[in-house]
Structures are given as structure tokens and as C-alpha cells.
Structure 1
Amino acid sequence: MSTNHSNNHCVLELTDLRKAFGKTEIIRGASLAVNEGERFAIIGPNGAGKSTLFNLVSGRLAASSGQVLLHGRPIQQLPPFEIHRRGLARSFQVSNLFHRMTVYENLRCAVLWSSGQGYAFWRSIHRLREVHERVEAMLELTRMAPQRHTLAGELTYAGQRALEIGLTVAGGAQVILLDEPTAGMSRWESEAAVELIREVTRGRTLLMVEHDMAVVYGLADRIAVLVYGEVIACGSPAEIRDNPRVQEAYLGTPATAAAGAAATTIATEA
């Protein structure tokens, strides 16, 4: 289990959030409260509405009703770039990189964009010492310094996901949303990704969607279970693992739950 502790100050709050496409309601009154410094995971079966919920929080979709508060201020009607400027950044299931630019250049773009500086033909970016220092710090944090000159498109799949996580936090956002950060990875790659996520989100608030329960149990302070657009349970990893309703709706048979317990034990001992 994660050792990242919350101070119980809520930084992200969803209240009776709903999203319908035509007559089909995908998110049906979801409510969550994520505390400062907490690592919070959302799990659920395919079609539960997890990605839709993420899109509502990050501004890519407009809510049909309900409210999303970031640091106590409503953001559900704001465009994604404005939400990002207020301190919330997200990654995507599909890697979203500049493949013909180097690792360094990708990170530099993220830092420049988040600071509102952008590119200007009359100003040399190489003179922007603060930007350079932030990029260097991010290269060290993500352990990608040896690959600084590698084109993003030439990185391994795991390397591209690591770079995307770096881009998500490069702008200095304090609330990070990660959408299935270990999808498609081998067990060894997933373990490395967990260590990276733990490191880059230290001192930040993390909200993630993840299908790999070993990853969830290894990172999350709390877990919410989303089924058919509704939050059916929320609690510590142990509470979620032992919840009969969750076992029936998502985690499956007692044997699956036992496997989850083993994963929790391994993660705690690690």
C-alpha cells in the first residue's frame, strides 16, 4: 500500500456528477472527494464510465449536471487549458507525444506551454534559464536524462508512457490524473512504472484509473469502485478488497479476492 498520506484537506470534489449522451446516462450521480497529497484510484469493469468521468473532471466533456470543485472552485464549465492553468493535469490511455521531437524538446514544450511563454521568433528559448532548469529536473525525476536526445517516436512503449507521465507533471500541476498508466505493459514494466509514478507524484495529489489491481493496491491510499456510472464503494484497499458488493460486481470470485490480498501484502512489504 502507498505510504503517501493525506492531510484530509479536500482538493478535488465531485458532487452528484452526471453525463448523458442522448437518452443514455453514462455517469449517474457520481460523488467523490480526493484529499490533498492522496493517491486515489478509480476501478471498475469495462463500460463503467471511468474514462468519461476523467473527461468530465479534466474539461474534455461538459457535465449534464452536478459539480466539480478544484480547490473549492467550480471547474465543470471551464475548457481543459484553463483547468490545467489552475493546477490539474492529465495523461491519456493513448500516448500523446511529439514523436519527431526529442525527449528534451517534448518536456520543454510542456514547461513552456504551462508557463504561458510559448515560442516567439524574437526570443531564444536557450536563454530561458528557468525553463532549462525545470526540464533538467524533470529529466532526472523521470530517469530519462540518458535519453534526452532520443526522438520520442524511437522510445520503447514503456519509455513513451514514462515520458507522457513526465509531460503531465512538467508544468508543475499539483493534481495529476493518470488514465491507465500501465496499460499494455509487462509485469516488470508495470513495477517500474509504479516506482516512477510514486516518485513523480510525491507531494502531489493523484487520481488514476487503472485496471491492474496489483498496481492499484501498490499505489492507492483509497479506491473508488465505479459500476454503470455509479460509485458503489469507496475506502482503503483492504476495505475494497473485502467488500462483498465489490467482489460480486467487479473483483469476482473469492479466489480473485485472495489474489488481491496477496498483491496487497506484497505491495506493503515492498
Structure 2
Amino acid sequence: MNRSSAPAPALDISGLKKSFGKAEIIRGIDLSIEKGERHAVIGPNGAGKSTLFNLITARFPPTSGTVSLHGQDLAGLAPFQINRMGLSRSFQITNIFPAMTVFENVRCSLLWSKGYKYSFWHMVARSRDLTEAADAILEQINLTNRRDLPAGVLSYAEQRALEIGITIAGGADVIMLDEPTAGMSHSETDYIVDLIRKVTVNKTLVMVEHDMGVVFGLADRISVLVYGEIIATGKPEEVRGNPKVQEAYLGAALEAEH
């Protein structure tokens, strides 16, 4: 099959750079992530992982380079426009409405995709399709029994699960998760990993994660980012055995977990 007839990657990053003043944070990244792939970005603190996420989702404009979603250039688009094209993300710090119920958090995230948009006169509480869709997501993320509680009283792991539910609610087919298991116990991590595996079936997953057990258990491919440059990309076993990766990051990261 020639390249012109091949399907476009889910995400295609070419020559991406980002500087803040004289500080060059992202130094020229080229990366393609295929549809349906689970891809992890790892690297030491300060490597530029969150900056990369912010460039992809248009929270920061790039200094140079391009990002494409399913073959469509994202240049000049706002974050909400990119979200409506099918890319959704979570953040390092849990981002929910703590005073609203768990159900209301999920229902809010469904409004645009269900066609309500700026239709303020609709009584969403009477919308059966909206209620059914929200309840289906709650069941998917194992929070049905927390449905009517204020989101702020959930445990930390449950709040992260809720945020994942909010992330997938709009129907995005590219899901970006920024350190989804940060600060969790082993049991909480297992819960979130199982959840991520379940909700990203037939979707493209891109995640930043420091827990190497999570990375090697979930990812189809891994990219290692060091000082704003990708020094290696490959399958987990290839990255684990890469001498450059061992020297720059992976050896110390694995040792820190034991």
C-alpha cells in the first residue's frame, strides 16, 4: 500500500518546537500515533511532557511545527474546537465540579455532543436520552453507587475515575490522560488501570505516566522525552532494553519503584 492511500494517523506531530523566551522547552518533536494505539510518553521531571500535551490541545501555541488530528491540521484552533473534533484530555490536577453531583458532572459533559449546545431553554433534567447516556457512563466507570453524591466527597481515585468519565463523555476517539495514577496507592492504581483499559477500547490513548508498571502494562508503544526531545520510540520491550533510555531515565525510574 502506498503512503497516499494509507489512513492518516490519529495524531501526527511534525517539527514541533516551543520556547518561552530564550528557554527552548520542546526542541523539535516528530511523532505519529496510529488509530487505536495506546501510547505512553515518559521521561524525567522537566522533560516537557505536560508542555507537549498543552501544545497538542492548543493550550499553548507552538513556536513552530504542526499537529494534525486524523489528517486535519490543528493550527489556529481553540481547545474547545479541537475537543469537538474528537480529542479530549484530562489534567494532572483533578478538574471536576465538586459541589455538583457525580451524575450532574457527567451530564454537563454530554450536553454538546447530544445536541443541546446553546439551547438554554431545554429542561435537561427531563431529557431521557441525556439521563440514560450519563447513567451508562457512570456504570462504565463504576460510579453508579455514587451517582447522587457531591463529587467533592468522592475518594481521590473515584474523582480521577469521574474525570476520566467526563473525558470520554463527549464521544472523543482520541483520549489524552496526564498522569492518571499520580498519588495513588497500589489498589487505587489497579482500579484506574482497569478502568482506562476498559474505556479506551477501540479508541486512541495517549498518556503521560511516571508509574512504569502502568506504562508497561498498558502501552502498545512508548516514547521517551528527555530535555524536550524524543530519544526513543518503540514497543515496551524495545524501550526497556534501549541503552540510551536506560542511561537517561528508565534505569533510575524502575529502581525508584523498588
TM-score by length of 2: 0.93
Q: Is the 8 A contact 2:240 2:246 kept in 1?
A: yes
What's the counterpart of residue 200 of structure 2?
Answer: 201
Q: Distance in 2 between matches of 1:49 and 1:159?
A: 28
Q: Distance in 2 between matches of 1:232 and 1:134?
A: 42
Gaps (5+ residues) in structure 2? 1-5
What's the counterpart of residue 73 of structure 1?
Answer: 72
Matched, 1:32 2:41: no
Aligned pairs, number: 253
- Equivalent runs, 1:193-232 vs 2, <5 Å: 193-232=192-231
What's the counterpart of residue 265 of structure 1?
Answer: none
Q: Is the 8 A contact 1:17 1:29 kept in 2?
A: yes
Q: Is the 8 A contact 1:87 1:174 kept in 2?
A: yes
Classify the secondary structure of the residue corresponding to 1:138: helix
Q: Distance in 2 between matches of 1:233 and 1:203?
A: 25
Q: Could you tell me the percent identity over the aligned residues? A: 57
What's the counterpart of residue 187 of structure 1?
Answer: 186
Amino acid at match of 2:210: H
Q: Distance in 2 between matches of 1:9 and 1:80?
A: 21
Q: Distance in 2 between matches of 1:79 and 1:121?
A: 23
The one-character-per-residue Cα deviations of 1:212-249 (angstroms, maximum 9, x if unpaired) are 00000010000000000000000000000000000000
Return the offset for 1:136.
Answer: 1.4
Matched, 1:150 2:149: yes
What's the counterpart of residue 125 of structure 1?
Answer: 124
Q: Is the 8 A contact 2:212 2:253 kept in 1?
A: no
Amino acid at match of 2:157: A
The one-character-per-residue Cα deviations of 1:130-180 (angstroms, maximum 9, x if unpaired) are 222211110111011111001110000111000000000011000000000
TM-score by length of 1: 0.89
Residues 178-187 or 70-79, more deviating: 70-79
Distance change >3 Å, CA 107–CA 119, structure 1 → 2: farther
Return the offset for 1:124.
Answer: 1.2
Matched, 1:178 2:177: yes
Q: Distance in 2 between matches of 1:254 and 1:103?
A: 35
Q: Distance in 2 between matches of 1:255 and 1:203?
A: 30
Spell out structure 1 runs of 4+ moving beyond 4 A. 118-121
Gaps (5+ residues) in structure 1? 1-6, 261-270
Two-structure CA RMSD over aligned residues (Å): 2.0
The one-character-per-residue Cα deviations of 1:76-127 (angstroms, maximum 9, x if unpaired) are 3211000000000000000111000000000000001444524755321133
What's the counterpart of residue 52 of structure 1?
Answer: 51
Amino acid at match of 1:45: P
The one-character-per-residue Cα deviations of 1:29-65 (angstroms, maximum 9, x if unpaired) are 0111111111000000000000000000011010010
Return the offset for 1:128.
Answer: 2.3
